Chain A
Amino acid sequence: MSQQLVSKVDVELPTEPSLTARRPALRWVGLGVGLLVVLALPWYIYPPVAMDIAAWALFAISVDLLLGYTGLLSFGHAAFWGTSAYTTGLIATHFGLPFPVAVLGGAVAAMVLAVPTGYLAVRRTGIYFAMVTLAFAQMVYFIANQWRDVTGGENGLQGIPKNLGGMTDLINSDAFYFYYAAIPIILLGVLLAWRIVNSPFGRVLVAIRDNPARARALGYDVERYKIMVFVLSAGLAGLAGGVFSVSHGFASLQELVWTTSGKVVLVTVLGGIGTLWGGPVGAALVVLLEDRLASSGFNGIGIITGAIFVVIVLAFRHGIWGTARNGLGAWLRSRRRSREDV
């Protein structure tokens, strides 16, 4: 079983220097525009929905860290997102701590859970890895469903407070203000992901993705790297899940069910795997689409999202960002070539 989900499609990714590497100014322009969009989002979109987009964007980035940069498809990331959602809710409810602390606690809980899961899952690769992670996520779901005293069973955790010292009243008064209070956590997560990808550690991950045997021959402990990135990815998913549950004020079994794991993979693939920008783009599209469908009273969102997924996998495997980037790259190359011809 090969595990080269990305390298087989994205053959130009490892060999060609990326667009931003050739034009460093583009990176700063991109970052500036991205930051501006993030800060302006709640002015144009209903703030709770904007918060959902941000949380799902980080969630998708955490999946992409495994899928796009290490070549591992985790189909059980809802376990980490949901574990953090519950842990964050429990910490915030029982200790009355400021919500960022609770979210950090949730992320740590997700990482702790990821250690044994990752240890078992990395023993298999490719499609087996996906199935094993999926099965363990389901185990977490069963436990949450049965452990009613702590998790509230089918009712979930209700009334998670938004505490933030002197600003508690402000962020509770309007989701608009909560967005700005919580967005630093999301941005911190994105920054971490960016740091990981652009570090020597990240290069080793890509090497493992492209050729595990060679990475091993070069002396890298492939399994250890995989476990480490798995735990880091779980932490990012945890940050996102914690913010999500505080924003909604509740954590439910919906956060742990496998369709959530599937949805985040859909968001990642839709945006474009192996591109940190893809996650936010995919998240914005999917969250807005589901919000629109739900508010229009359409019954059967899965019919639409499922069909989109089928089309994406069949026809646009690079995803939106990947397709756009490749298109732009090809256009710039052809322009350069025509200039050189003259």
Chain B
Amino acid sequence: MTAFIQYTLQGLALGGFYALAALGLAVIFGVLGVVNFSHGACYMLGAVGAAVLLDATGLGFWAALPIVTLAMFVFGVLMERLLVRWLLRLDPLYNFLLTFGITLFLVDLVKRRYGVSSLAYELPAGLKGRVEIGSVSLSSYQIFVAAFSVVLCLAVWLLLTRTRVGMIVRASTEDAERSRALGINVGRWVTPVFGFGIALAGLAGVLRAPTGSVNADMGSFFIIILFAVVVIGGLGSILGAVVAGFLVGLVEAYGQGYAGSFSQVLIFVLMAVVILVRPSGLFGREEAAS
């Protein structure tokens, strides 16, 4: 039972990274129709950014959280303005390929500058200990990550469903053409939404920095898992991204706990089952027949 609770917490923390990043992926896809391959690289940049910030200025985790997230927002805005924008009218596969090129570029750039070995980062002040609940000892940072990402996903959810901005973004996601006809300037929201999505990936990276190894390759497998997450959840669906993110996190953690070395294969088995049973994903809308 103790082990089970620990795996569950681990899974929720892991799922938090996936859910946040997948949420960014889903919002970008919804409004721009772009599957951002560089999402894993942006997650990596977030973590590396936090480590570099610590090294260069001594600013720790709590400062990195807003600073790096904001920097990633700016990075996303630049990326959209300079590159992604030019391909928006074409088949979405072109932006997929473009962002793949950006990924190669970013990963090797970081590798060249900071090497392949992991950068040092430690648990933030105040969350270093463990929490004892009865006989169960849990890492307080994992509790923080799980809670923080749930709260953040809820906040984004409220932002999208309860505010005017969110309504506009959702309307643009739903039907850009009709939103335009109703007088909404969809184009104006494209850039900030892209930046917002990238910022979420960067934020997930900062959150990951204290727990994992921070290096140029940390986003390489992350992006594949993210794709599995959005295929499971349904790419167009914001709720699907969050639910599938936590689901995949739990599957991975239980797998590591009980199935050993082949645990990561479980995620893809889950994906295969979802494709067989519900090709459009758990929360996805049916694709128009091709």
Count of residues in B whose CB is under 8 Å from the partner chain:
45
Q: Which among B96, B106, B221, B279 is the interface contact of A127 at CB below 8 angstroms? A: B96
A335 lies within 8 A of chain B by Cβ:
no
CB-based contact B231/A302 at 8 Å? no
CB-based contact B287/A310 at 8 Å? no
CB-based contact A310/B224 at 8 Å? no
CB-based contact B96/A135 at 8 Å? no
CB-based contact A306/B221 at 8 Å? no
Q: Is the interface of A mostly helix, strand, loop or mixed?
A: helix
B56 lies within 8 A of chain A by Cβ:
no
Q: How many A-B residue pairs have CB under 8 A?
A: 138
Contact A313:B98 (CB < 8 A) given known A8-B91, A124-B275, A146-B262: yes
B5 lies within 8 A of chain A by Cβ:
no
What is the minimal beta-carbon distance from A10 to any residue of chain B, in angstroms? 12
CB-based nearest B residue for A212: B290
Contact A301:B227 (CB < 8 A) given known A4-B91, A146-B262, A313-B97: no
B102 lies within 8 A of chain A by Cβ:
yes
CB-based contact A73/B287 at 8 Å? no
CB-based contact B87/A313 at 8 Å? yes
CA distance A9 to B108 in the complex (A): 31
Q: Which among B86, B107, B265 is the interface contact of A139 at CB below 8 angstroms? A: B265
Q: Which among B112, B231, B264 is the interface contact of A142 at CB below 8 angstroms? A: B264
Count of residues in A whose CB is under 8 Å from the partner chain:
50
CB-based contact A146/B261 at 8 Å? yes
Q: Which among A120, A262, A301 is the interface contact of B272 at CB below 8 angstroms? A: A120
Near B by CB (< 8 A), chain A positions 104-156 give 120, 123-128, 130-132, 134-136, 138-139, 142-143, 146
Contact A125:B100 (CB < 8 A) given known A146-B262, A302-B108: no
Q: Is the interface of B mostly helix, strand, loop or mixed?
A: helix
B228 lies within 8 A of chain A by Cβ:
yes
Instruction: Give chain B residues whose Cβ lies under 8 Å from the Cβ of A131.
Output: 35, 227, 230-231
Contact A310:B83 (CB < 8 A) given known A120-B276, A127-B35, A134-B224: yes
CA distance A312 to B94 in the complex (A): 10
What is the minimal beta-carbon distance from B94 to any residue of chain A, in angstroms? 6
B189 lies within 8 A of chain A by Cβ:
no
Report 23 cross-chain contacts, Cβ distance below 8 Å, ordered by A residue. A3-B91, A5-B91, A5-B93, A9-B90, A120-B275, A126-B91, A127-B93, A128-B231, A130-B93, A131-B230, A131-B231, A134-B224, A138-B268, A146-B261, A213-B289, A258-B220, A299-B111, A300-B109, A303-B109, A308-B101, A309-B97, A309-B104, A312-B101
